[in-house]
Amino acid sequence: MVFLTALTGPGRLASTAGAAPPDQRTQAAIQQSLDYLVSLQKRQGYWEANQGQYRVAMTALAGTAMLAEGSTATSGRYAKPIRLAVDYLLSMSRPNGLIGYREDFHYTYGHGYSMVFLSQVYGEEEDERRREELRGVLTKAVQFCADAQTSRGGWGYVSASEGNDFDEGSTCITQVQGLRACRNAGIPVSKEIIDRAKKYIEECTTSEGGVQYSIRGGGARAPITAAALAAMFNAGEYDTEVTKRMREYCRQRIWPERSVSATDGFWHYMHFYFAQVVYRTGGDDWNRYRGELHEKLLQEMQQGGGWSDQQVGPVYVTAVNCIMLQLDRGFLPIYQR
């Protein structure tokens, strides 16, 4: 079976023919689940994970799920919750550029997801004063990323200076996507930052194509490999020797040689990124994978909307599931083909 290899030329992915918007059953599930997210939003505009954790990351992910529906901060069914989320994240911008707070010992996740969310909002914002505010926050956020990057080109849970130059694969992917989203929106991003991040990912990739937990080792992991492949696609690396190895690794360990319904640790994290990879590939691979993925998610949805998760919480799993279910809508540039 040919998997994730069809290209129509340098930097261009396979034809998107055959893609279709969500069917009525899926659309109903999405709306119910987004409404469920609205019911969980705090009056100050944020969402949170279990035990009140990760407010910045959860707010950015939930807001992104609503943008994927087609709503903006000024129009659509979810305009108000999006606007409240924007207000909250703007209030969390620090003088050094961090979107978040140092007491969150995994703050780079929230920073990266916030760059993705706010850059999509910035691209649609028509009010000049609001655009300037967003542009200022995103410009500082990009600089914070540059300052927080480790000596080897990755990122850790906190900035390199605070984390003794520690790096970790999943946080690197979050920063790469955030930087790419900012660049798509017109915020200047140094090529050097992205090139160093790509080199970091390449050095974390084993001969079999799996991406390790850290450049220091930790073993190849399927969830991080899927996320790294999505990040490489975001960075314009579609058909290199490294990404070919990563695709083969994913083919054997995630899909299609393994079922979408297979139980794995970090399943939602893994398929959140892997869905982006297969969607960008398009064609028969996407049509088949989408059908299997959507069926699993719809079967596991709670009555009345949303999904449950004991580890991180319902906001996280509902937001990432809604984003996966809405990739075909194509509203968000960061996930487009």
How confident is the model over 66-105, as pLDDT tens digits? 999 999 999 999 999 999 999 999 999 999 999 999 888 8
- Report the sign of the C-alpha dihedral through residues 98, 336, 82, 72, in that order: positive
* pLDDT computed for residue 170 by the predictor: 94
3-state secondary structure labels for all residues of the chain: CCCCCCEEECCEECCCCCCCCCCHHHHHHHHHHHHHHHHHCCCCCCCCCHHHCCHHHHHHHHHHHHHCCCCCCCCCCCHHHHHHHHHHHHHCECCCCCECCCCCCCHHHHHHHHHHHHHHHHHHCCCHHHHHHHHHHHHHHHHHHHHHCCCCCCCCCCCCCCCCCCCCHHHHHHHHHHHHHHHHCCCCCCHHHHHHHHHHHHHHECCCCCEEEECCEEEEEHHHHHHHHHHHHHCCCCCCHHHHHHHHHHHHHCCCCCCCCCCCCCHHHHHHHHHHHHHHHCHHHHHHHHHHHHHHHHHHCCCCCCCCCCCCCHHHHHHHHHHHHCHHHCCCHHHCC
Mean pLDDT, rounded, of the chain: 92
Mean local confidence (pLDDT), 237-251: 96
* Res. 296: pLDDT tops 70: yes
Q: What is the pTM of this model?
A: 0.93
Mean local confidence (pLDDT), 240-258: 97
* pLDDT computed for residue 105 by the predictor: 80
* Res. 127: pLDDT tops 70: yes
* Res. 281: pLDDT tops 70: yes
* Res. 17: pLDDT tops 90: no
* Res. 3: pLDDT tops 50: no
* pLDDT computed for residue 265 by the predictor: 81
* pLDDT greater at residue 263 or residue 154: 154
* pLDDT computed for residue 20 by the predictor: 59
* Res. 305: pLDDT tops 80: yes
**Phi (first) and psi of residue 313, to 5 degrees:** 130, 170
The torsion defined by the Cα of 315, 318, 320 and 321, in degrees rounded to 10, comes to: 170
Place of tokens 């609503």: 66
* pLDDT computed for residue 21 by the predictor: 67
Mean local confidence (pLDDT), 176-185: 96
The torsion defined by the Cα of 29, 23, 297 and 332, in degrees rounded to 10, comes to: -90
How confident is the model over 193-223, as pLDDT tens digits? 999 999 999 999 999 999 999 999 999 999 9
* pLDDT computed for residue 6 by the predictor: 35
Domains of the chain, earliest start first: 7-335 (1.50.10.20)
